[in-house]
Amino acid sequence: MDFLKITLTSLLSVGVLFVITKCMGHKQVAQLDFFDYISGITIGSIAAELATDLEAPWKSLTALVIYGLVSVLLNLLTTKFPRTRKFINGTPTILMNNGKIIRKNLQKAKLDLSEFLLLCREQGYFDPEEIQTAVFEHNGKLSVLPKAEKRPATPYDLHLTVSPAHIGTEVIMDGRTMGENLSRAGRDEKWLEKQIRSQGYRNAGEIFLGIYRPEEDTLTLYPTE
């Protein structure tokens, strides 16, 4: 009987968490602000308690629903009243500007110099000399604006005209032909088989990934190792 109760309460907690997550949107599972981080941990703990609370599972369920509702209401509040975002989510902090590290802002963000340099390296900047401005966002990530002479050259800088980039269509995945994607790209399986043989393979089973680019009319094949 206890096993059945645990199974049912576990399924209930999973269902409620799924509904709450859908209501809260991708924000809960992507970039978390301070309140989302706290509520995420709390909701997870309550859900785990709900799964094993055999005496009064409704208590944990009530708390779970309340936390979910509060999170949804706060998200609605910040959407309807943008000024509340500063209070609820916090504001970005400039840690470095004009090539100079702002020590008091590091302290405000509760970061030491080693942590700041770590965040810079995670963004691909191993030398602070390359950085013009660094902003510590409210979600805990560092945004970096490199110095003009240090940033990678672009076609615009070189006065070049380039063709627009396009996303390819996966027509083979794990050795299987993706018929729907192939049809959407305006091709059929006979064309695909011909293209596979022309590149030295016998069939789609030898291909791990195949990407077709309609604009260039090219098929790139990645064989199975």
Q: Of the candidates 175, 180, 179, 184, which has an alpha carbon nearest to the alpha carbon of residue 221?
A: 175
Per-residue pLDDT of the chain (225 residues; tens, 9 = 90+): 555 765 676 667 656 765 765 565 544 444 555 566 666 667 777 777 777 776 777 777 777 777 777 777 777 887 788 777 777 667 889 999 998 999 999 998 888 999 999 999 999 999 999 999 999 987 788 999 999 888 888 888 888 888 787 789 999 999 999 999 999 989 999 999 999 999 999 999 999 999 999 888 899 999 987
pTM of the predicted protein model:
0.58
Contacts of 212 (CB under 8 A, 6+ apart): 168, 169, 171, 182, 185, 187, 218, 219, 220
CATH of domain 169-223: 3.30.240.20
Q: Does domain 93-146 have CATH number 3.90.870.10?
A: no
